[in-house]
Amino acid sequence: MRDEQAPYTSGSFIVRQGQEKDFIDAIEAVAEWTIENYSSVSEITLFRDQTRIGRFFTLFRWDDEESIDAWRADPEFGVYMTQIREHCEKVDVSSLERERRFTRIN
């Protein structure tokens, strides 16, 4: 698949105060499991919001939609998401496609 059409999944998390390390460990576990078991994921990034304490975002870049469906249907994914949710006040997940990309031309 061409880079411009690569699908993404993302998560938005509001983590309970004092549970940030446990949350990051849980995200690291699902990221490692995903990389080991789904060759169609090309990059996983965890972002920490610098303006709101306890807010994090994930971005998973995939090769195809079918792999996302298989990943979400995998029972292990559910186990990892349960562990992540234990540390959060709120979790929102999304499937994304790139609408536009803006870059600097030198």
Structural domain includes residue 78? yes
Structural domain includes residue 91? yes
Structural domain includes residue 106? no
Structural domain includes residue 70? yes
Mapping DSSP to helix (H, G, I), strand (E, B) and coil, where does residue 37 land? Answer: helix
pLDDT digits (tens, 9 = 90+) for 7-50: 999 999 999 999 999 999 999 999 999 999 999 999 999 999 99
Query: If you search the block for the tokens 């499991």, which residue do you land on?
Result: 33
Instruction: Quote the domain boundaries for residue 47.
Output: 3-97
The pair of structure tokens assigned to 5 is 């059409």
pLDDT digits (tens, 9 = 90+) for 45-98: 999 999 999 999 999 999 999 999 999 999 999 999 999 999 999 999 999 998
Structural domain includes residue 47? yes
Structural domain includes residue 57? yes
CATH number at residue 13: 3.30.70.100
Structural domain includes residue 82? yes
**Cα separation, 13 vs 97, whole angstroms:** 20
Overall domain count for the chain: 1
Q: Is the pTM of this model over 0.85?
A: yes
Structural domain includes residue 69? yes
